[in-house]
Each structure stands twice: as structure tokens, then as C-alpha cells.
Amino acid sequence: MPKVQESHIYEALGTVMEPDLKKDLVTLAMVEDIEIDEQDNVSFSVVLTTPACPMKEHIKNACIDAVRKFVPAAADVTVNLKSRVTSSCGHNCDHERPLKNVKNIIAVASGKGGVGKSTFSVNLAVSLAATGAKVGLIDADLYGPSIPTMFGLQDSKPEVIDKKIIPLKKFGVKLMSIGFLVDSETAIIWRGPMVSSAIKQFISDVDWQDLDYLIFDLPPGTGDIQITLSQTLPLSGTVIVTTPQDVALADVSKAVSMFRKVHVPILGLLENMSYYELPDGTRDYIFGHHGGEIFAKTQGLAFLGAIPIDRGVREGGDEGTPYVISRPDSPAAKAIMAAAMEVARRVSITNAELSAGH
């Protein structure tokens, strides 16, 4: 007969706090599958709110420490980490809404072009997919679609089955772009209503099925597509990409203002092209020093990280292999992956706050 009881494990884990949600794991119903064998070996699962949780090892170690401290009779302690991605819709979501099987919709935006927004969108999607999440990516920049090139799918066309477009899939990410539907040499000369209609088609006429995260790579600025998206879908939040230079930050403030006016949560700000590391290890801040980080602090935004300049990031985009796959151990790739985990973390926190508000 084992000395350890299930109630002992719950009592111990009731002392372990989820770092972001500020409640204990038992109260949050994150503990499942407790098993105790005849030798008092203990195993249980902790259900995280995202497979991309950057605090997973911290939580796992805290659980082991708590059981060893409060249940000294326990022999071996095994913690299995699982995930069940939370949704921004909570319990009051209209189930007739578009994309009802998509748990979270993330917009990646920028105030101006040329700051690396599409590059981050691609690597964000691939990074989340690599953790086991179900991820989709929509290239919403209809005038300058880049997803086909960045995934090496320039000549690929999606199938249509039962009047639904089947998204292409590569590196674990489901993909849709106007570049898959029109010739790459064809200029898109559309006014606002046609642009909005095309975006709505990507939402309603594509068979996305179940997704944990659907990422929209938006065009720069604050135009028709941004407004259409915020009015059509319950966005989990937006990530704003900038460079450190003042001219980029001036445009970022307009994007921040727009998303706040349409009540879309801003998950945080990412500073791209932050610095260039010289051969001697020193850093050259080509576009300015910490401009994005300072702007985020001033605006009360989460700072998602600083991505250094690396020729390989551009080469990966041109060659069709995202940088986090082609060079995962490089400083830039590690910074991108850390930023992606932080985006997932911010989504989970926002979802918890919305749920508590309801």
C-alpha cells in the first residue's frame, strides 16, 4: 500500500504558482493524470496554455521541488508537460463567426515598409509550429506578397475541394497568399473594396480547419486591410515590428494609435535590425540605439526582443528556408525564437485577462 496519496500531491502543487497568471496550478486546473505506484513513485501532467511556453522548465522544476518538499515519502517524481492552447474567444464567442475553429488570430503589423515584418511573420509561424502548435499564415500584403518566395513555393497553386481552397503547407505551417493565385509578374491594381473582399475570401473560402494560431502578415501602414481585419475578426492581438531609427518609430506611433482605437490588444513591440555584431564582438547600432525598447517603455507596451542584423536572415528569405530552420543556433535565430515564445506567452496572458474580465 503506497504511503503517498493523491491529495498529498494536490496539496503540494497548490503551492506552485503559474508565473504569468499569478495563481497556483491546482486552482488553474493545470494538473492532470496523477499516478502513484506501489513504490510511491509519483507521476503527473501539467497542462500548459501553449506548447511554446518559455517558462515550461521553470514550472516543471518548481513542481518537482514542491513534491519533494511537502511529500517526503514520494520516491521518484516525473512531470509530463502537455499543452492545451487557450482561445481569445473565451466562453462568450459567437460560434457563427468566421474561423470559429481558430483559437487565436495574431496580426503582425508595422508603421512603415522595409522593417522586416514579413520576415518575422514567417519565422514566428515556423517557430510556433516547431513547438507542436497548429499554425496558419496569411499573406495579407496583397500588393507585395512575399510568402511564396520566403517558403520556396513560387510556382505552387492550392487545390480547390468542395468550393474550398486548401492551403499549402510547408515547415508545419498552413499558408495562403495572393501570390499562389496570380502570376508573380502580375501587378495587383485594386481599390479598397476589392482588397477588403480578397481578405474576406482568405478568411471564409479557405479550409483552415483547427488551428491554435493564425497569423496575418499585414501590409505596412494603417489602411483598408488593417481596418477590415479588425472589424471582421476577434483578433487576439497584434505584434508591431520596427527598427530603432526615429523615422520608423514615428510611423509606429500611428499604428499603435490605430490598434488602440479599434480595441485590438497590442501584444508587444519587436525591434528588428537592432545592431550588427562586428568580428571583435562589439556591436554597431547602425539604425540607432535601443529606440524600439525605449518607445515600448514610453507607450506602456511589452518589449518582445531585439533581433540583430544578419545576412543569413535575408538569404533564408530569398532561398525559401526560414532562418530559424536554416541556422537555428545563430544569435539572430535564437532571438527570433525567443520573441516567438514571448508572443505565445503574451497571447496566453491576454486570454486569461479576458476570461477573468468575463
164 Cβ neighbours under 8 A, 6+ residues apart: 205, 206, 207
Taking alpha carbons only, the member of 313, 305, 308 closest to residue 346 is 305
Name the grid cell of 80: 509530463
Query: What was the pLDDT predicted at 91?
Result: 45
pLDDT digits (tens, 9 = 90+) for 171-199: 999 999 888 877 655 555 555 567 677 77
**What is the mean predicted confidence (pLDDT) over 229-242?**
89
Q: What are phi and psi of 128, to 5 degrees?
A: -65, -40
Instruction: Enter the DSSP assignment of 96.
Output: T
Cβ–Cβ contacts within 10 Å for residue 123, how many? 26
**What is the mean predicted confidence (pLDDT) over 66-86?**
94
Going by pLDDT thresholds of 50, 70 and 90, the confidence category of residue 224 is confident
Cα atoms found within 13 Å of the Cα of residue 344, Cβ hemisphere only: 32
Mean pLDDT taken over the chain: 88
Domains of the chain from N-terminus onward = 6-83 (3.30.300.130), 102-357 (3.40.50.300)
Q: What are phi and psi of 288, to 5 degrees?
A: 115, 165
User: Percentage of the chain with pLDDT > 70?
Assistant: 92
Cα angle 293, 85, 61; round to 5: 75
Query: What was the pLDDT predicted at 276?
Result: 85
Going by pLDDT thresholds of 50, 70 and 90, the confidence category of residue 131 is very high
Helix (H) or strand (E) holding 193, with range, is helix 192-204
Taking alpha carbons only, the member of 115, 137, 113, 112 closest to residue 124 is 137
**3-state SS class at 237:** strand
Q: How many Å separate Cα 89 from the centre of its chain?
A: 16
Give the separation between CA 175 and CA 215, rounded to whole angstroms.
Answer: 10
Name the grid cell of 264: 485590438
Query: What was the pLDDT predicted at 203?
Result: 86
Query: Which stretch of 46-60, 66-80, 288-302 has the lowest confidence by average pLDDT?
Result: 288-302
Going by pLDDT thresholds of 50, 70 and 90, the confidence category of residue 251 is confident
Q: Residues 44, 10: contact at Cβ < 8 Å? A: no
Name the grid cell of 293: 525598447
Q: What torsion do the CA atoms of 297, 303, 308, 309 make, to the nearest 10 degrees?
A: -80
How many angstroms separate the first and last alpha carbons of the chain? 45
pLDDT digits (tens, 9 = 90+) for 26-72: 999 999 999 999 999 999 999 999 999 989 999 999 999 999 999 99
Measured CA to CA in angstroms, residue 79 lies from 83, 280, 283 at distances of 13, 43, 41
Query: What was the pLDDT predicted at 31?
Result: 96
**What is the mean predicted confidence (pLDDT) over 96-120?**
87
Q: Is the pLDDT of residue 208 over 60?
A: yes
